[in-house]
Amino acid sequence: MRVREETGAATVHRWRWAALATLLAAEAMNLLDATVVQVAAPVVRRDLGGGEAGIQWFSAAYTLPFAVLLITGGRLGDIAGRRRVFALGVAGFAVASACCAAAPSAGALIAARAGQGAAAALIVPQTIGLIRAMFDGPETAKAFGSIGPVMGLSAICGPVLGAVLTHAVSWRAAFLVNLPLAAGVLATVPLLPEDRAEHRPRLDAAGTALATAGAAMIVYPLIQGNAVGWPTWMWTMLAGGALLLAVFALHQRRAAAPLVEPSLFSDRGFPAALATSTLFFAVMNGLMVVVVLQIQLGLGQDVLTAGLTLLPWSGAMAAASWLAGTRLVPRFGPRLMVAGLAVMLAGVCAAIPAYRAYPDSYPWPLLGALALAGTGNGLFTVPFFTAALARVRPHETGSAAGLLNAVQQFGGTLGIAVLGTAFFRALPHGPASAAEVAFGLAAALLALAAGTAVLMGR
């Protein structure tokens, strides 16, 4: 009898970790797709046509719906069942990826990318809930701890994979990679348990509509404004977007089933965390796009060179994340956040003279600057999420985690819009000068992020 019990326990243990592999594969699929397109965007634009703003939209069209629908995706999992919504999201992601690969025009690709982002918003929120449903005790921490290495590996592989596939085959192959990944995930979905909230919440359709419209009305002028000369209606749209987000905040205080717990804002530490996340991820995503643009559009180098240029950043980020998680955070705690931002700021500032010294050729010193920036990136991200949720009460945890993820994606969208636009506005003065302007702006944003990070701990 004891042998049978031990055999059964071992079987359950293997089943849980196989099911976790399914969730991690879906996470990796989303992370890879985001970074793959950043590297391939200039080649896509050359193939499909469109203006300079199209390069920014190829990435922003994914991250924007991802950001604004993330919390709603989590609520759908609570209502309809997390496994069901997870499977629906993976299937939708595969269909949208096929549409991206077959896109006949830039507009069609942007629309398909928006479909990918909406599908990702169904996938990602279910991961945490399903891990909690499958594991308990010490195994829960181990399961959550496996997400970090997957993110680090995806960050390393994404730019290189996108560059290699685009260089050797076509940018369309970079989207087709998602199809076998999605098929493998769907084949193993039956391993996942069905799980839903004990008390099913209601959907806040009005809140979702306000957040979506407000965010879109802010991002659209930031990307398109430079292309059309910033007419009056662009400024009006920008102001209207800010007004809609303010209305959204008021709606959340009065809604019967708000997307965001209003009590989260009673302590200034959490709003400071949201501001820090927005600024940090704006710099992270925006600078990756700027580096690719300067290498490919400015210097005329191929996509493989651009992908390999980002390798010091992503490799150093993965190594620093591991070091922070295993050694530094237990010793220094939240103080590591500001140190990470300082290291990243040093790397960003070091890139400016690298561009200045090589205005018309490949800036070799840039590789060291990017490695330094990536190190700071890894040192910051590990303690940040723990510190951001430190004073959140148990009933606020789900809402807080969803909002932090949403703000992360929205910050990435803003970074692509703001830093990408800064690059294109300065491009007539030369690609190196344009990169200097964008990196200078990024340094200012990082300095602001350091200030808001200090407020998190007070």
197/376 Cα distance (integer angstroms): 38
Domains 1-191 and 266-458 share a fold: yes
Q: How far is CA 100 from the centre of its chain?
A: 19
Inter-residue contact 423 to 435 (CB < 8 Å): yes
Q: Tell me what pLDDT residue 197 has.
A: 66
Q: Tell me what pLDDT residue 275 has.
A: 93
pLDDT digits (tens, 9 = 90+) for 127-182: 877 887 787 767 776 776 667 667 777 777 788 888 888 888 899 998 998 899 99
CATH number of 1-191: 1.20.1250.20
Q: Domain 266-458, what architecture?
A: Up-down Bundle (1.20)
Q: Tell me what pLDDT residue 135 has.
A: 78
Q: How far is CA 142 from the centre of its chain?
A: 23
pLDDT < 50 stretches in the chain: 1-8
Phi-psi region at 228: left, alpha or beta (left = phi > 0; alpha = psi -120 to 50): alpha
Inter-residue contact 341 to 380 (CB < 8 Å): yes
Q: How far is CA 309 from CA 55, 165, 302, 354, 428, in A?
A: 19, 16, 11, 13, 23
pLDDT digits (tens, 9 = 90+) for 389-438: 777 776 676 677 778 888 988 999 999 999 999 999 999 999 999 999 99
- Per cent of the chain over pLDDT 70 is 92
Q: Tell me what pLDDT residue 276 has.
A: 94
Annotated domain spans of the chain: 1-191, 204-256, 266-458
Inter-residue contact 337 to 383 (CB < 8 Å): yes
373/47 Cα distance (integer angstroms): 32
Inter-residue contact 334 to 391 (CB < 8 Å): no
Q: Tell me what pLDDT residue 458 has.
A: 63
113/119 Cα distance (integer angstroms): 10
Q: How many other CB atoms are there within 10 angstroms of residue 204's CB atom?
A: 22
